[in-house]
Amino acid sequence: MAARLGGAIFVLWAVASITFFAVRLIPGDPAQAVLGGPGSQASPEALAAVRTEYGFDKPVLVQYLAQLGRLATGDLGRSYALNQDVGPLVLDQLGGTVLLAVLALALAWLLALALAAWSTRGGTVAARVGSGLEIVAAALPHFWLATSLIVVFSIWLGVLPPISTVGAAGLVLPVLTLAIPLAGFLGQILRESLLAALESPFVLSARARGESERGVLWTHALRHASLPAISLSGWAFGSLISGAVVVETIFARPGLGRTLLTAVTLRDVPVVIGVVMIVAVAYILMTLLTDAATRLVDPRLRSE
């Protein structure tokens, strides 16, 4: 556990350092960026004031240490564009994205499980159809899926809002957009490992004891089959974050993803760093959770 914590702190430090030094690579005067970019004709006095305020006049090493110090105390700096503290800003947006991601992950698991269970029991034709559906689902880009869903459900059928404001109905399309491609990936992994599990000797033993196919599936096979899919969760999280950037933008939904994209477009460096740091923390938490889930399902890992 101590090693894990150490590893987590190391990764956070490295992420902070990489972002800090990467940002130094931006050509031009950061003070200019604070005052609205090269287009704005800021006075030399204003620039000098900003330099002092943000510490741009100090040596790089001092700035670096100051930055680390601020991060350690949870201070993520001030947005250039919004003139607002990044910490509260980012935390405000976190909830919406987490809700979206959790719902999408749950739906993806449900879809994948249903498809995998159906296609392993339905013979070769079902397996092929299932596999084909999954490959196509996994290849769907979020932005196209989102637009297509809007066209069908909002414009043609008019049953769901194209804009995700408050309310459950607004969540349906964003969640579907994120869940369907993910279900494609999870489904493929689940189905293949389910097939492997169903052909393993312990399943033959269980059948020879008189276990029903449903019993075989629920007491034995699904548990084995879920292990490889669980280990994908860290990756799934990353894919959901990328997806959130697109989905929140398209559905005009407040969240980390949209905040990040706006900040990238405006080159609002502190906000970008803030989001990146939050995502890194979330990613680390996700890997720890994945580990815990794996141990829960696989008692072989617990004894050691």
Selected from 54, 56, 143, 153, the binder of another protein by CB under 8 A is 143
223 near another protein (CB under 8 A): yes
Span 260-279, contacts to another protein by CB under 8 A: 260-261, 263-265, 267, 269, 272, 276, 279
218 near another protein (CB under 8 A): no
**Closer residue to another protein in complex, CB, 220/253:** 220
Distances (CA, A) of 14 to 20, 26, 197, 284: 10, 19, 40, 13
Total residues contacting another protein (rule CB under 8 A)? 85
Least distance CB 193 / another protein (angstroms): 8
Of 34-42, 82-90, 108-116, 239-247, the window that binds another protein (rule: CB under 8 A) is 239-247
189 near another protein (CB under 8 A): yes
Scanning the chain, the segments in alpha helix (DSSP H) are: 2-24, 30-34, 44-54, 60-72, 86-121, 123-139, 142-149, 169-198, 201-208, 213-215, 222-230, 233-250, 256-266, 269-297
- Token pair 């974050």: residue: 241
4 near another protein (CB under 8 A): no
**Closer residue to another protein in complex, CB, 45/304:** 304
Least distance CB 186 / another protein (angstroms): 10
Rounded-to-integer distance, Cα 178 and Cα 238, Å: 12
Q: Environment class of residue 28 by beta-carbon count within 10 Å: exposed (0-12), middle (13-18) or buried (19+)?
A: exposed
- Token pair 């559906």: residue: 133
**Closer residue to another protein in complex, CB, 170/243:** 243
192 near another protein (CB under 8 A): yes
104 near another protein (CB under 8 A): no
**Closer residue to another protein in complex, CB, 55/141:** 141
Least distance CB 89 / another protein (angstroms): 17
DSSP 50-86: HHHHHTTTS-HHHHHHHHHHHHHTT---B-TTT-SBH
Least distance CB 182 / another protein (angstroms): 11
Print the binding letters for residues 52-71 with another protein: x by CB under 8 A, - otherwise. Answer: --------------------
Least distance CB 257 / another protein (angstroms): 10
C-beta separation of 96 from 253 below 8 A? yes
What type of residue sits at position 51? Answer: R
Rounded-to-integer distance, Cα 89 and Cα 124, Å: 52
280 near another protein (CB under 8 A): yes
15 near another protein (CB under 8 A): yes
Backbone angles phi, psi at 179, to 5 degrees: -80, -35
Secondary structure (3-state) at 1: coil
289 near another protein (CB under 8 A): no
